[in-house]
Structure 1
Amino acid sequence: MLGALTHDGDVDVRAMKRLIQASRPLQITFHRAFDMTRDPLQALDAIIGLGADRLLTSGQRTTAEEGMQLTKQLVDRTDNRLTVMAGAGINGSNVRQILEATQVREVHASGSVPRNPALATGEVRFGDRSRVTSVQRVRELIAAMS
């Protein structure tokens, strides 16, 4: 996954061309930097024009569930020129709704839980180190998609 934006919040096409060229023949997923772009439809067109294979997005919201409306617009606009993958806050209780509402064919989910639930009581987060993937959460996600 990669992504680059200008200071103005547009896709940095020049930087992305270099990154994509250096990364091929690997598939290219433009990551959630997309969710910080100032004009998501213009950004999508730029990403498609660059030849990216996939876009990971939460629909420019905190979670994929909150961003379903924009994600659906993005899926419709791609006309199968790239794959839109929903991500952020996806779990077994909301994945079916997200798949149906947005028509995405791929999702990105951590299936994680706090590493030490007894200490996970406040708003302080320490990135990935404070969470760990849960086999049970992953099983719930798979079951919900089946």
Structure 2
Amino acid sequence: ENSLVEWAIEEDEDMDEEETDMLQEEQPKTAGRKADTRTLPELLIERHDILIERIGTRLKTHATETDIARLFIALVEYRFMRKCPIKTFRNALYEQFKEQEIVHERGIQKAYRNLTSPFGNSKKLVKDIGEDHEAIEELKAYLSN
């Protein structure tokens, strides 16, 4: 009789484990892409300290959506930084420079889209002509010295 009770308890414990396994399998995975939470030092390829200091100094005087889009272009084109979504770059700036107000990523994305779109009917991009080109080249020089 005692072994019958023990058998019933063991059987019940086995069932509990099976049920919890089933419940865990049924829970759906979260929707959407996994967030890219790389930090600024993780995004930068080399010269981390120098670049972070220069980016911080630059943001104190140039922090508009267009300024940050130009900074993004300069860093990626000069291969100072790994290519990443603008949201990741913006969040990395926000985390790195907490005292600095960083504009919302939507504005930066629009400015980036504007800078990388063709100018009029020509094949040149907006970022490759005029004041945007000068600003990006000046930024590249500032970051690389």
Structure-1-length-normalised TM-score: 0.30
**Which is helix-richer, 1 or 2?**
2
The structure, 1 or 2, with the larger RCO (C-alpha pairs under 8 Å, 6+ apart) is 2
Determine which structure has more spread, i.e. the larger CA radius of gyration.
2
Structure-2-length-normalised TM-score: 0.30
**Which is strand-richer, 1 or 2?**
1
